[in-house]
Structure 1
């Protein structure tokens, strides 16, 4: 009976993935994994357009609105490393199916939320499912596509789906909110999730690491404490005051948890995160850039969603259309970034991405309610192109630098950097809005409140360029 439940060896998996029929199955697996990536990223971008409607419906302030985003992002970021190691140990297909199911259930609960507290709780459920999906889907793609050239192309497609989801999100969110209210942005995940479950059950093969790591509950617990306290202090600090005891305590706990995490991981024989991998300069640089780039992406979407709807008075649908220059540029920048990586290595697209983020943010420094849209659209194109260019070299560099038998942990590190960047982007730039007259104030004051976020993103883009120039000088 035990043999019936034994996971098939890697060679058996590959036997089913060779030849013409095997190629079709590999492409099917890529499509299924891409669909989950599309679903999870769409959920983030589609939600941004719905935030003003949620704020009105649930009568909440900017800080509470940030928690709708960061409850998901912080939980997701804190569980990604654990999910990667669980997939390596218990089976990636098994964890993948679990993640799709839980994410779909969480989406249904979000759509049924009766108040802010139940919405935030449902977002946590969503995050548990999303944490199981993101690193596992990338591990499955890497395991299925064994030929290096074919694998690079598959990873390029996988990364490009991020741009497609980003491009679709604001417009889809505007359509749904205008037609059926903010709850519909969560309902849309249900048919996608059910379709993915059926397809994955049929096509995705089981795999796991030949020698998975042991569980590391202490490291995982410290990671959760660090990310949770950092997010809490950055979100609550602008509203409660930075000198408040709870905020100061949060910063102290975050610092202590980070120091303890490093000490514990260095002493573990098989740590949750092997810190020795960060001796690899390109790998470290890729993850730092991932964090910085996704701070910019999350902050850009949050600030612009509020600016377009509450400063310029646009509807959700019109705001989604207004964001198209940025989201289409993000989608187009992904394939271009993949092509540049294949031809010139990761440094040129990463460096160019940072400069474009800086240039686009600089163009928005003096934006107001009467700023001509043509100038705003031009800034969106620059920002979007930079944000699209940066993702393929991040994925390629980070995954290629890690051992093949730890694919789950490898992809989870890069995914954690992205999601932590997302959480920080919402917390930091939302905090900047709260310092000035935020969305709860008269709409015509919001334009002035966006000046500090854009100045911050100028520096963020310069940091991306500097890190890329220093860590990725030669093709990996």
Structure 2
């Protein structure tokens, strides 16, 4: 790809961030609208879980395939195809006549979305060739994830209140069309020098693993945890995981290169992504039901209640990106782990729902933690990898985010449904607080995992494993030790 001017590189970064904005926003914008959708579509709690998880499961299943396809066919071509599909899927979602159609159209959205994030990261890493500039660009990218995630509840609340829940899908139309035109005009085409071959067996195993695991968790409260349906799902998930671990190392060009996980920072980024986004998915799901179903707030007021979380994330996400670019990922990860853990403890141990000061303190802490965690995830996953592998590494990080959101909504929704059922299904404040206590302890555990794993995988020993892994994976464009250190200067 020819060298671009600094202004052109910044424009390419802005275009890539536009695509990231709409894909990430759709992970969270739906939450505040769930009660309105539930009433209009006459849906159950599990039905509402599926409107979120159908999107994230498909995203997680196809991200790596989309990344390797873009390396082969052309990144700009696949990126533009993704924008078309995602925008069309958004329009279809806004017109959905029932829950089944909405879930199906959300899957269309996800097929388009899977072609955006990993491909955009490949475009960024091949556009910003200087290690310092690349680290800063990745920091901006990670900051946009946090901003879009935080803005989701507020944007969803405003649109649902002023128009209706269908309006939350309309915002993707102008952004998607603008990104499409700008991509066609300004983003140069690029391909990998040696694109990887398709791995259909690995792709099928990933889809079966994520689909069966999510389905079993969501349906367990209604079907029973020992029901044949749930047992079959568990067996399928375990068999698929075993198949992946056995089959992938034998391929010359696997869908998931397990050698990546010899890098402690990369493995840590994967675990942190799953845990932090599970915390986000569960946090938003529980709070949406609490604010609207228990407190009786409107969608707009529920979004405004979560404004402290959104505000802290908006402030901390770009700050985290700058810290990662200048000082490395360790400090943001430690701050994130402490804040997420403290937020969970306020709700789990002190019943923060029953006190507005504690409630808003919990929101502030969660916003601080989540705002700090995104930039280090992407930077840690990608930095030190050969440029030819950066897209794949980014795809694994993006997949981990989607898996986390999927599991967070599925597990927390299942725990909450089980707790409400055992309490007789009443909807009062005391019943909800009691039913959600276990869910909050799960979210506390997610925050603690971010803290411990972040501390363990961001030191000198961890960086050494990343450099050794990069050397093993290297090729003619291997960045070497300087690039591996770029994110911590």
Q: Which band: TM-score by shorter chain?
A: over 0.9
- CA–CA distance in 1 between the matches of 2:217 and 2:243? 21
> Aligned in 2, Cα 1:100/1:440: closer, same or farther, shift over 3 Å?
farther
In structure 2, the partner of 1:250 is 233
Once the two structures are superposed, the pairs formed by residues 70-89 of structure 1 within 5 Å of their partners are 70-89=53-72
RMSD: 1.6
Contact kept? 2:347, 2:353, Cα under 8 Å? no
- CA–CA distance in 1 between the matches of 2:33 and 2:353? 23
Query: Which of 251, 254, 257 in structure 2 is aligned with 1:271?
Result: 254
Q: Which stretch shows the higher mean deviation, 165-174 or 79-88?
A: 165-174
In structure 2, the partner of 1:209 is 192
**CA positional deviation for 1:401:** 3.5
Contact kept? 1:326, 1:383, Cα under 8 Å? yes
> Aligned in 2, Cα 1:87/1:320: closer, same or farther, shift over 3 Å?
same
Once the two structures are superposed, the pairs formed by residues 161-172 of structure 1 within 5 Å of their partners are 161-172=144-155
Contact kept? 1:291, 1:418, Cα under 8 Å? yes
**CA positional deviation for 1:424:** 0.4
Q: Deviations 1:349-369 (Å, cap 9, x if unpaired)?
A: 212211111101111126769
- CA–CA distance in 2 between the matches of 1:150 and 1:408? 17
In structure 1, the partner of 2:427 is 442
Structure 1 unaligned blocks of 5 or more: 1-9
- CA–CA distance in 2 between the matches of 1:344 and 1:206? 33
**CA positional deviation for 1:370:** 7.0
In structure 1, the partner of 2:458 is 472
Once the two structures are superposed, the pairs formed by residues 149-228 of structure 1 within 5 Å of their partners are 149-228=132-211
**CA positional deviation for 1:443:** 4.8
**CA positional deviation for 1:345:** 2.5
Give the match's secondary structure for 2:124: helix
- CA–CA distance in 2 between the matches of 1:218 and 1:200? 33
Give the match's secondary structure for 2:420: coil
- CA–CA distance in 2 between the matches of 1:167 and 1:270? 37
- CA–CA distance in 1 between the matches of 2:258 and 2:427? 48
**CA positional deviation for 1:338:** 2.5
In structure 1, the partner of 2:296 is 313
Q: Deviations 1:39-69 (Å, cap 9, x if unpaired)?
A: 1111222111101101111111111110010
In structure 1, the partner of 2:470 is none
Contact kept? 1:96, 1:133, Cα under 8 Å? yes
**CA positional deviation for 1:191:** 1.5
Contact kept? 1:308, 1:314, Cα under 8 Å? yes
Contact kept? 1:310, 1:446, Cα under 8 Å? no
- CA–CA distance in 2 between the matches of 1:401 and 1:292? 23
In structure 2, the partner of 1:261 is 244
Give the match's secondary structure for 1:132: coil
In structure 2, the partner of 1:69 is 52
In structure 2, the partner of 1:45 is 28
Q: Which stretch shows the higher mean deviation, 152-161 or 162-171?
A: 162-171
1:231 matched to 2:231? The reply is no
Structure 2 unaligned blocks of 5 or more: 464-484
**CA positional deviation for 1:442:** 2.6
